């Protein structure tokens, strides 16, 4: 029996049915051999986008201490996540989130009409929460942070679908077994902001204890032990 919240368990179920979360043997971009793989890009059906936006909304709403005016979705994957999660948050708590806005950036600034590089609510003077699928190397999220800064917004946090909780790959000359932070840990430390996730590797392990195979569970635990970040 799992000990994770119901919305997380339901989300993992939906991920598995959509093949967005798979167990097996996968070679990552880093070269590591992972026993699982997550692909949020497969959440393009109505029922699946409803599932992920609901999970995002619960992840944010569970933190009653967080105050923000806008969900910012970096182009392109963050765009549908921001728009649909704003709607779900308003359903969960209309009093708190009924006036919540969304924004996203254009890849190229518009030079005609109203111009600019932002679509949706203006960021200036507003508290901004970034929403995206994952933070891998941290490059894309830092670009989004610079956009928010340039527009005069105040970044107050980031929420992602999955935190793999694993240390960054070793650079040339580094020992792969040496302790290191994760990409999320590096961003959290650099900017001093909370970074939330619908799921962590720990959540996937807990879910697998109740519904997965013994082999999947063993391999997940071994992978976590081998690559766990210090944060």
Burial of 1 (0-12, 13-18, 19+ CB in 10 A): exposed
Please, which residues bridge with residue 21 across strands?
A: 38
pLDDT at 114: 53
What was the pLDDT predicted at 110? Answer: 55
Measured CA to CA, the distance from residue 106 to residue 143 in angstroms comes to 12
List Cβ neighbours of 164 (8 Å cut-off, separation of 6 or more). Answer: 134, 182, 200, 201
CA geometry: angle 136, 142, 143, nearest 5 deg: 110
Question: For the sheet containing 195-200, what is the strand order?
Answer: 116-120, 101-110, 70-73, 127-132, 154-163, 195-200
pLDDT tens, N- to C-terminus, the chain (231 residues) = 447 899 999 999 999 999 999 999 999 988 899 999 999 888 889 999 999 999 999 999 999 999 999 999 998 889 999 999 999 999 999 999 999 999 999 876 554 445 578 999 999 999 999 999 988 878 889 999 999 999 999 999 999 999 999 999 888 778 888 899 999 999 999 999 999 999 999 999 999 998 889 999 999 999 999 999 997
pLDDT of residue 109: 59
Task: Just list the catalytic residues.
Answer: 110, 112
Domains (ranges, CATH) in the chain? 6-227 (3.40.50.2020)
Instruction: State the pLDDT at residue 173.
Output: 78
Output the pLDDT for position 76. 87
Using an 8 Å Cβ cutoff, are 11 and 55 in contact?
yes
pLDDT at 194: 96
Distance CA 14, CA 140 (A): 26
Closest by Cα among 94, 93, 13, 83 to 51: 13
Q: Specify the pLDDT at position 112.
A: 46
């Amino acid at each position: 029996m799992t000990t994770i919240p119901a919305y997380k368990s339901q989300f993992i179920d939906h991920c598995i049915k959509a093949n967005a979360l798979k167990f097996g043997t996968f070679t990552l971009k880093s070269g590591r051999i992972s026993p699982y793989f997550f692909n949020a890009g497969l959440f393009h059906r109505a029922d699946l986008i409803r599932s992920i936006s609901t999970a995002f909304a619960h992840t944010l709403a569970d933190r009653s201490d967080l105050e923000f005016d806008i969900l910012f979705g970096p182009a392109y994957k963050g765009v549908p996540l921001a728009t649909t999660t704003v709607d779900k948050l308003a359903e969960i708590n209309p009093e708190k989130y009924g006036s919540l806005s969304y924004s996203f950036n254009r890849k190229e600034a518009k030079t005609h009409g109203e111009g600019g590089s932002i679509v949706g609510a203006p960021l200036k003077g507003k508290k901004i929460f970034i929403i995206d699928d994952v933070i891998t190397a941290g490059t894309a999220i830092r670009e989004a942070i610079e956009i928010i800064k340039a527009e005069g917004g105040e970044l107050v946090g980031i929420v992602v679908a999955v935190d793999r909780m694993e240390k960054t790959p070793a650079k040339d000359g580094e020992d792969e077994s040496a302790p290191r932070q994760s990409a999320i840990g590096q961003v959290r430390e650099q900017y001093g902001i909370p970074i939330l996730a619908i799921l962590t590797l720990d959540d996937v392990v807990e879910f697998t204890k109740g519904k997965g195979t013994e082999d999947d569970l063993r391999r997940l635990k071994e992978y976590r032990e081998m690559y766990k970040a210090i944060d």
